Amino acid sequence: MKLPAVTLVLIASIAVTADGAVRFQEQFLDGDGWKSRWLESKHKSDYGQWKLSAGKFYGDAEADKGLQTSQDARFYALSARFEPFSNEGKPLVVQFTVKHEQKIDCGGGYVKIFPSDLDQSDVHGESQYYIMFGPDICGYSTKKVHVIFNYKGQNHLIKKDIKCKDDELTHLYTLILNPDQSYEVKIDNEKVESGTLEDDWDMLPPKKIKDPEAKKPSDWDDRAKIDDPSDTKPEDWDQPETIPDPDAKKPDDWDEDMDGEWEPAMITNPEYKGEWKPKQIDNPDYKGNWVHPEIDNPEYTHDATMYKFDNIGVLGLDLWQVKSGTIFDNFLITDDVKEAEEFGTKTWGATKVGQYIQITKLCILNETSKDTLLLQRQKLIRYSQECVFKKGSITLCIQIHNTIFMVVEKLTFLCGN
């Protein structure tokens, strides 16, 4: 039976493969069809509105369309449901693209993964989630990637600082959570951080604690240096800090009856040596810094299931933005790490060069400086090399070469003037 085109697009937008590898996938390929799959929260009446857009610059006008925030200084709350699943015994990969083309000053670019029993019509900032992942920017101080896991009802923030991208281009964010309790964070398909849940989150009490029964011995000497007992202060050491100026003279017209007793001005005493301190010598009784011995923490119990979430069923965008314009796209939840990387290459990888070509052309039109154009040319040359060596699209390779030629022409003109 031949399926309608809209049905085919829907299958492509949200897919579950035969082996269950892909749990959720959304690329917004069917126009306004996304409105039937994504639900806006009604918890507040003034949530910001979303629109479908590829933005001001893109690699492909249709393929690069995503959900864009459209109103400044608003909270946003939108979510999509999929077949519930557990990640027990399998990797969990959460991946999506974000483009802050508005030169974002303060706002979130992250996603939340919720349990399937979430009331989507009432999503808000306090709704309990399993995972929060993605970039967050506010001013110069906050430019980080959030990785927050909910464990036994409490949200736990990663202890490491992962810097996010803060330019206007599309970037791919990937979180991989493995059954061995290890994790990996990638940006643009490149690893930027990795480790284990136990080391990088405070989900469990520490394995070791300081022995409450141990105390530093009273005769423990941790002074590396001591005063030299044989050193004595010189007899002429103590001198006043200031003395009367020996060159000062009482003015001829000084009237003691009218002006009082004349006193010379005070000056710094050249003989003053300050407080005397005995010289320091090595302490013969020095034992080093006392280290508090540790014992096994009786409150610690290993949990091999910290990575596991039993009822994953909703992906949401619950965030605040001062300046709107962020575009979210290419959502993927899967247990196949290789599939996620390939999907990222096909989506983000295909659009990054096209976006850069458009930005370069805008730089040429807007009379950008020679230094900026030189940087643009350098990056385009690298993309050109990648295109050739990785056997990329012939059309794309030609577009890159043509843009490089345009940059060279503009540089020639600027240098000639």
Question: Is 110 flagged in the annotation as binding?
Answer: yes
Tokens representing 101 are: 């083309």
Backbone angle region of 207, left / alpha / beta, with phi > 0 → left and psi within -120 to 50 → alpha: alpha
Give the other-Cβ count within 10 Å of 141's Cβ: 7
170-177 and 92-100 as β-strands: parallel, antiparallel, unpaired?
Answer: antiparallel
* Four-CA torsion 252, 253, 254, 255, nearest 10 degrees: 130
Is residue 318 annotated as involved in ligand binding?
Answer: yes
Cα 377 to chain centroid distance, Å, stands at 28
Instruction: List beta partners, residue 336.
Output: none
Q: Measure the CA–CA gap between 109 and 137, rounded to whole angstroms.
A: 8
Q: Any known ligand binding at 30?
A: no
Rounded CA-CA distance 346/335 in Å is 18
CA distance readout (Å), 276 to 225, 229, 271: 17, 14, 13
Say which residues have a Cβ less than 8 Å from residue 169's Cβ, sequence separation at least 6. 99, 352, 355, 356, 359
Pairing of strands 326-334, 92-100: antiparallel
Compute the distance between CA of residue 206 and CA of residue 14 in angstroms, rounded to an integer: 41
Contact between 23 and 83 (Cβ < 8 Å): yes
Biggest CA–CA distance in the chain, Å, is 124
Would you state the structure tokens that stand for residue 235, as one six-digit string?
């007899």
Is residue 79 within 8 Å of 118, Cβ to Cβ?
yes
> Which residues, in sequence order, are CB contacts of 159 under 8 Å at separation 6+?
200, 201, 202
CA distances from 107 to 57, 58, 92, 100, 250 (A): 21, 22, 26, 10, 73
Residue in 79, 75, 65, 80 with CA at minimum distance from that of residue 32: 65
Residue 222 known to bind ligand = no
**216 known member of a binding site:** no
Question: Using an 8 Å Cβ cutoff, are 312 and 115 in contact?
Answer: yes
CB 111: neighbour CB atoms within 10 A?
A: 27
Binding site residue list for an alpha-D-glucoside? 110, 112, 129, 136, 318
Binding site residue list? 110, 112, 129, 136, 318
